[in-house]
Amino acid sequence: MSNSKLPLPSPPSLPGRRAVATTLATALAATLVLSLAGCGGGGSSAVDSGTPVPPPVATGPEVLVQITTGASIAAIADSAGASVIDQFGRRPIYRLQLPAGRDAEAAAAALAQRSDVRFAESNVENETPEGTKNSIWLIGGDAGSYGTQWAPTSLRLPAAQALATGEGVRVAVLDTGIDATHPALAGRLARTAGGAILGRDFVDDDADASESGSRADIGWGHGTHVAGLVALAAPSARLMPVRVLDRQGRGNVWVLAEALAWAVDPDGNPATDDGAHIVNMSLGSTKPTRLLSAVVSLASCEFGDDDNDFDDAGFDDDRARCALGHGAAVLSAAGNSGSDTERLYPAAEEVKGARAITATTAQQGLAPFANRGGWIKLAAPGEAIVSTVPGGGWGTWSGTSMASPLAAGTAALVLGRPSPNPRPGATGLRQWFAEDLMKRLEDRARPVCNASVRQIDAAAAVGDTPAPDTACP
C-alpha cells in the first residue's frame, strides 16, 4: 500500500502479506471460487538425517471488514476467532484470517450483524473469461497487421488520433504484468523522475511488474496483450504496469483493491500528481464485493462529501487527493459467457466514473461470447484482435478483455480535449471528472447491429461530434 499502516492489534509475528494472499484473475470470471489457494515452494528440501520435518501450517479462509470509527478491530476479530493480518492503508478496513476449515461466508455473515461493522465479506477469488473458457492467444500477426487490423477502422481511430494521441495520459493496466522489453511497449511505459518504470507487482510484492510464466500457463501474456491495445488506441499515452494476477490469471479482491489504490497514488502523497488518469481492469468476479465497489469509488473520486462510508479520518488522504482532481476513470471487461443474466464485477458495480465494456465483431454485431444486458452501455472490438505478447512477439486473442483496453485507450484520447464541465481549480488533464469522461464515450457512441448496446466511436468522442450510423449487414 502507498499509505503507511497503523500498528495492528494482532500478534507480533504475522504471516507475510503475500504468503497468505489468494489468487485473483485476469479478464473476468465466469465462475467464482471461494476457497483459498495454498502457497508453497516447489522442489525438494535437504534435511539432516533424523531431523523431523514439521507439517505445513494450514491457512484458513479470509474475511474482509470495514469497521466503524472508534471500533476495536481486536475485539471484532476475536469474536470471530480470527487473526488480523493486514490493514488497507490507514483506512478502517482490515483483512482477517480464520482458522483452517472455517466457513468464510458464515463468519462474514455473523460479523456483518455487529453494529460496529460496516461490511464483512469473504476475500473472493475471480478468474478471467479467457481463463475460464481455456482460451489462450494464438501466435500470429506482426507489427503491420497490428496497426491495420479491423479494430482501428471500426473505432475510427485514425481520425481520432489526428486530434489527440493521449499525450501526458497515464493508463494503469491491472493484469498479469507487462513485458516491458517488447519493442512496441518499451518506449511507452510511465517512468518515475529517476527513470524507473512506474509499476508494481502485488503478487510478489516488489517493483518488477513483468509477466511471469510460460506458454504452459493459461494467464501468461494476458497483461502484455491488453497493454498493447491501450497503446494501439492511444500511442502517446504512458502505461503503468500493475501485476495483480498470477501466471494462471488468478488473484483476489484484497490484492486488487490494494493495487487500485496504489495506481491512483503511487507515492502515497495525495498532493503529487503521479497517479493514473485511466485504469483498465480486464478481470473480475461473478460476486459483488463492498470493498471493490468502495475502492472504485475512491479511485474515480466520484463520491460525495456526505458519503458516510468514507467519513473516517483514515480516508483523509483519499479526500485530499480527490479535492485536487487526482482520480481515474475505470474501465473493466464485461465477461465472456455470452449471457444476458450473468454480471461481472467490478464491471457491474455501476459506480460513477466506471463502465463495463463488452465486445463486438468486424461485422458490427455483438460477439457471440460477449455478455450483454442493460447494465452494459458500451462495447468495443473484441474478436480476433492482434496485439503484443511476451518475448517481442504478436498474438491473436478474442474476449471482452481485448475490448476494454481499446475503450481505455480511447478515453485517454478524449482526456486531451477540453472538458465540457471543467473541475474547479484543476488544470490540464485533471479538468475532466471521471463520470463526464464516461458520458462522453456513451453520448458519442454508435449502434451495434441487433443489440441495445452501443460501440465506442473514437473520432466522434474525441471531436465531440455525432457518430455516423452503423451499416449493418
Spot the catalytic one: 122, 179, 222, 265. Answer: 222
Active site includes 265? no
365, 451 contact by CB (below 8 A) = yes
Catalytic site includes residue 401: yes
Give the separation between CA 58 and CA 99, rounded to whole angstroms.
Answer: 8
Q: Give CA–CA dist 353/330, Å, rounded.
A: 6
Are 222 and 175 in contact by the 8 Å Cβ rule? The answer is: yes
Annotated catalytic residue: which of 86, 175, 265, 457? 175
Widest CA span in the chain: 79
Does residue 222 carry a catalytic annotation? Answer: yes
Grid cell, residue 215, equals 506458454
User: Considering 401, 404, 436, 457, which one is annotated as catalytic?
Assistant: 401
CA angle 293, 202, 319 (to 5 degrees): 45
DSSP states of 234-297:
-TT-EEEEEE-S-TTSEEBHHHHHHHHHHHT-TTS-TTS--S-SEEEE---BSS--HHHHHHHH
Cell of 263: 495506481
Contacts of 97 (CB under 8 A, 6+ apart): 15, 20, 59, 60, 61, 62, 63, 82, 83, 85
Give the residue from 173, 169, 181 showing the smallest Cα distance to 236: 169
Task: Write out the catalytic residue numbers.
Answer: 175, 222, 401
